[in-house]
Every structure is written in C-alpha cells, then in structure tokens.
Structure 1
Amino acid sequence: MTSALMDLSASARGGDAAPVVLAAAATGLVDFIGAQGGDVDSIFGNSGIAPDMAGAPTLKVKLASYCRLFEEAARQIGGDRREAGNFGLWFGQQFQPRDLGMWGYAAISAPNLGVALDNLVRLFHYHQESSGMRMVRGHDGMMRLEYQIYASEIVERRQDAELSLGMFANVIRECCGPRWAPLEVHFEHPRPALWKEHEAAFDAPVYFSQPTNALVFRPELLERGMPGSDLQLMTMMRTCLESLGSHRSGDEGLVERVKTAIRVSLPNGYPALERIAQDLRLSPGSIQRELAAAGLTYKDAVETTRQSLARMYLDQHQLPLTEIALLLGYSELSAFTRAFTRWTGVSPRAYRKQAH
C-alpha cells in the first residue's frame, strides 16, 4: 500500500457520453507513421479519426478512437501475425513535452520538477477523461508517477500505456537531462514478445502485469529546478486549460472573465482595474457595475481569487512559499503571510503543516 502525496486526478463522464482526450497528444503522429513506412490513410481510417485532427491543441477526440489509432499503427508497423509491435513505445520516447500543448507547457514552465509533475496530475482531467494519474510515495521511500485508463470499454490500451509513460519520462528528462532513467518502469499489460526493447528505451528494469502503469524514481529529484521556469506562462497555461475544460454552453459571465483575467495577471503584481479593463476591452465602470450586481467590489474579486489560488498552491508541497507569494502578486513573502493570516487565522506555513 502506498500513501498519497498528490491528489488523484481522474475524470469520468456521466451518462452515455464517450470519454475524450485532447488531440495534442497525437502531435507529430502523421509524420512518425510516414517515417516508419506506414499507411497513414489506412491507419487513421480504421481508427475513425481524420489525419488532420492529430495535433490540434484544443480539439478533442474520443479516447477509444485515440487508443485504437495506436493499436492499429502497431499492428501495421513492426508487428507480425501473432502480436503487435512496439509502435507506442517508440512514439512516446521521441514525444517532447511541448507537443502536449497547454498541459505540457504548464509542466515545463513550473519552478521545479515537483510542481511540474503536480501540474500534470492536477490538470490531467482537463487533458484526458475516464483516466487517472497520481504521484505517490511507496514504503521504500521512492516516488511513483502512476497512470491508468478507467474506461472498461477500452480493452486494447497497451500502446497508450507505453507511449504515455514515455511522454511522462520526457517531462522529467526536460529537468534532469536526456540521459535520465527511472529506477523501474511498471506496466499493467502482460509482457510482450519484444520486451527487451522496453528496457532499452527506458534504460531501466521493466515489470509487466502490474496493478498500474508507473515510473519509479528518487524523491530528491522533485526539488530540482526546471530550466524553462516561467511563472506567468505556467499560470496562463493552467488558466487556459481549465477554461477549455469548464465550458458548458460556450458562454461565461463577465464576473468569471474578470476573475480569470485577474488570475493570469497576478504573477506580474497587483492587477490594476484599468489594466484588467484593457485586457477585456471593457471600461472600468462596466466592470465595477457588473461586479456590484454580483455583490462584489473589484478589490473583493482580487481577494477571492487570491484566496482560492493560495489554498491550491499551498497544497502543492513542492512549491516554495516565496514562489507562491509571487504567483499571487505579492512583492514580498511577508505581505502574503499577513494577508493569508487575515483570511484564515493561521499563517501559510501553519496551514500547510495542518493540511499535510
């Protein structure tokens, strides 16, 4: 049994709606199939996906069709009559985090690897539905980044598991260098015929028929800084991804638009009303009237946004308090500490200890 370090990120659609995944996860697939000598039209046609859909950053495709796409490619490329090849394994190894679109950028722009992986976990349900991802610490003290599809109707999922762990490994390599290797790799599917390729690809022992898919690595890596750290970009990507996943009717109220604009602007300091009005192409007076109708002042909107973000950031234990202060638009940690104590009655440090 393992103890949870990060919250489980999962999503299951209600009713009969089929789970989906952002098409960004197939970025570069058409060219990769072509380079392997595969028939692009046949593979995509048999999977029910148009080739021009692959890689679209905001387009969603059915998760079952996405998994079928890679299974079909594995059958046609490098496989034989008995068993499919390792197409997903090698596609994942060359897949770069930036190709994951907003989800990938939210990770590589984080201040350190711990926050990068936490962003992957927390934002995963916006990227892919009916699936779970989490980071846990085992009894041996090692970290496990776990991934699994929950949709029982998707039976063929081996290629997806192998490409997904390859993608996640490359997020860690973005921080630790291209020669980084996990301590172990676990897959839930049985050992395939060409299993030695898996150990060569990950440069690590690989175990099959496991309870879930996972990368195992040392916990001290979580403290390492990300070379592409950009707090403003991280905030923007998180906000955009959450906005994309939250749309229901295609319309949102002005109050939520104002709060979203505030959230994006906070890493640059306190967001002046005039600046937010300019970003939204509205007058300051119209924003104030709309907020007043909702029983809020502009200062209230900033404060409530800061409060909700503060609690979320404090739950990310790898994110230093000084970084949280900057993300919330405070120039000094002391200013954030005073504000948080006023909101909750406890300091940020005490709140984090209580939550942990």
Structure 2
Amino acid sequence: MPESANLAELVCHCRQAWASKPSVPDPSRSMEKHSVAICFVHHAIAGLRARGIAPEPVLQAAGIAPALLAVPQARVSAASYSALWMEVAAALDDEFFGQDSRRMKCGSFAMLCHAIVGSKTLGQGLERVVRYFGLLLDDIRVRLEREGVDGEPGAGKRARAALVLTATSSQPPGVFAQETMLIMLHGLMSWLLRRRVPVLLAAFSYPEPAYAAEYRLMYSRHLAFGQPATALVFDAAWLDQPVHQDERSLKAFLRDAPHNVVVKYTDRTSVMARVRRQLRAQPPEQWPTFDRLAHDVHMSSSSLRRRLMEEGGTYQQLKDEMRRDLAIEALSHSSRPLAQIAAELGFAEPGAFHRAFRRWTGLRPGAYRGTPSQA
C-alpha cells in the first residue's frame, strides 16, 4: 500500500486487470445484502482472541452460535453481524476491533458523525472524515483524491475521485482493517447523500481472497486485486452533491448503527432492486412467474432477463437469496416451527426446505436453530 500510489496509477493498473480478465456475471450478485458470510465473523472476533478474550460469550450475546464457526458455508443475518460489531467494540472498547495499534474508543464513530453532519457537500464531509480518522488511528490513513482520468473500457473520459487507504509504515494494515475501513467510508458516503453511492471500482492491495464474491455485494461489481493501493473509486461529480442530513436525522442514524453501515443504502435504480421490491411486497408462496414479473415491472421477458444478467444475476438466484436470508432471519430470531417457516417461504414440503437450506449454509435448519443462541 505505497504512499506514492495515486489515482491515475491505480486506474491504469486496474484497466490492465480488466483487459486480462473477462467480465463474467457473478451468480451471487445481489444489490441488497441481508446475510453475512461466516468468514467475516471470524475476522470480527480475531481481535478478541488476540487479547485473550473468549469469543463465545460475545457471539452468543450477538445471537450467533459459536458452533457456526466450524461450518465454512454458514451465514448469519445482517442484524446479528451488526450486533456482533457492537459487542466486540464494547468488549475491546475499540470500534476498530483491535485492528490498529491505537484504540478507536467507543463513541468515536458517533463523534465522527456529529463532525460531518454539518457539511455542505459530500466532498467537504469526506475531507472531514479523512482528517478525523487521521486523529483516531495510527497505522492506517485515508486520503481523498480528485483527478480526471480515462474511464474503464467502454466509458469516455470522466472525472474520478477515490478514497485511498495508505499505511504509516512498511507493514500494511491487515485485510480486515482495510475491509472495515471501506465499509465505514462507503456507509458514511451513502448516509450523507441518503442513497447508495455507486462505486465504479473497488481496488485492493492484497491478493484476491477465497470469499471475494462477497465483495461484489459489499462494494462494487468491478473489483481488482494486487493493486498499488486499496481504494474506492467513484464519479467525482458526487463530491459536489449537497448533504441531506442534519442533527435530527443523525439521531435516527446512530440509533440504527452499525446495521445501516453494514447494509448501506440500496441502489434503488437497479433492475435487481426493483425486482426485490416486487418480491418483498408479497409472501414467497405468491411470488410471480418470470413472465408475470416482467409484466409487473413493465418490461418484456427478454429485456428483463438481459438486464438481470447485466447486473450479474437471474430471477431464480434472486429468489434463492431472498429465501435464504428470510430463513436465516426466521431461524435466528423466531421460534416458529420449521414446517411453518418452510410453508411461509413457499416450499411445498419441509424436506425441500431442509435440502435447500443445507445447500445454502452447510447446515440443516434444525441444526442451525438447535445450536446455542440460535434457539
């Protein structure tokens, strides 16, 4: 993560990566994230283990069964993961989860939000964010760059901006530190403008991890690894957009944090978001056929199929993801019988639900619920 890496160099490197790697739609793509892969739970509790704190009570307080750590395919609800952030931060008195040599003491994030809520534009708000993190942390720095560069293949020349992470020493911050910082930065950007700010490129200074498909949900469809720096690249025009928050709305934001930072605002203009809204408006057993859905969103079947593929998914994948996340939520936070949950999710018989849930998470629904803190 060299200090000398600039935006032009970063985009140049990433353009080479795009040229050498064909664009293939990711089957796990979804514009709204309601469950979190278990690998991020491992990352979140690493700081506890490093300080000799047993993670099991913290996991249970967040509604996450410690036994799930042994299941590579397991997922937890976004609500449970957000609760875990709160529990780990409280246990360490560190809202950066032990990822920096200086603690980001509890309450720091709230003070950061108070510092930026009076900003006139997103650009001014991000400048304040950069300065604030510079005061809070020792090992990782953020800088805001603005530059006019050539766009990615197929796009004309446009002005770009980037939030770039840098290290203060030759030892780069850990992967989870970088992931967490990007989640915070993107969440704050999206909150200030009351909409999910599109990330044109998420670049990472480290090699592609095994769970990289999750990054397409967290950051952007366009990813590049092994780059000169870790950064979020976005259209510079967003920097001039006025901030749409005030002290009153800040209270509501902090009341729901960190869930609204983890999930972020959704891209309501995407076709996937439109489809998900259609599905959420009715119970799963009444979800429409594909042709009926196309009619409901005022598109031809072929156009809808093409647009979904362009965004990296299919109707069946969207339905599976929504059923998976609804199932995780129901098993984690309700005591309804499994047969009732299966029927509510649109499965004709419980056995089909059991097979699907095991395919999604590696566990049978009864085993998932039966582990401690999932009952």
Q: TM-score of the superposition, structure 1-length normalised?
A: 0.40
Structure with max Cα Rg = 1
Higher relative CO (Cα under 8 Å, sequence separation at least 6) belongs to 2
TM-score (normalizing by structure 2): 0.38
